């Protein structure tokens, strides 16, 4: 199985967000919220940067 670049980014963002949530916050509710925030920021940054690279390459 060979994941696409986008699915690899999603998988990376998921695992890093879990680690960030666990290590950076102290209560379970805050861990989940911060992990979700990090996940959204990672995926959003990947989408914005990919469009930027696409526009620069044209």
* pLDDT at residue 26, as a whole number: 96
* pLDDT at residue 50, as a whole number: 95
Give the residue carrying structure tokens 């967000």: 17
The predicted-structure confidence for 5-52, as pLDDT tens digits, reads as follows: 999 999 999 999 999 999 999 999 999 999 999 999 999 999 999 999
The pLDDT of residue 1 is above 80? no
pTM: 0.88
Number of separate domains in the chain = 1
Cα angle 33, 35, 36 (rounded to 5 degrees) comes to: 65
* pLDDT at residue 41, as a whole number: 98
Q: 10 is in which domain, residue-wise?
A: 5-57
* pLDDT at residue 2, as a whole number: 86
Structure tokens, 3 = 């994941």
Contacts of 31 (CB under 8 A, 6+ apart): 21, 22, 25
């Amino acid at each position: 199985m060979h994941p696409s670049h986008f699915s690899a980014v999603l998988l990376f963002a998921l695992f890093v967000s879990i680690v960030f949530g666990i290590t950076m916050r102290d209560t379970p509710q805050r861990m989940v919220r911060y992990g979700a925030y990090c996940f959204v920021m990672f995926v959003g940054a990947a989408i914005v940067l990919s469009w930027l690279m696409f526009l620069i390459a044209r």
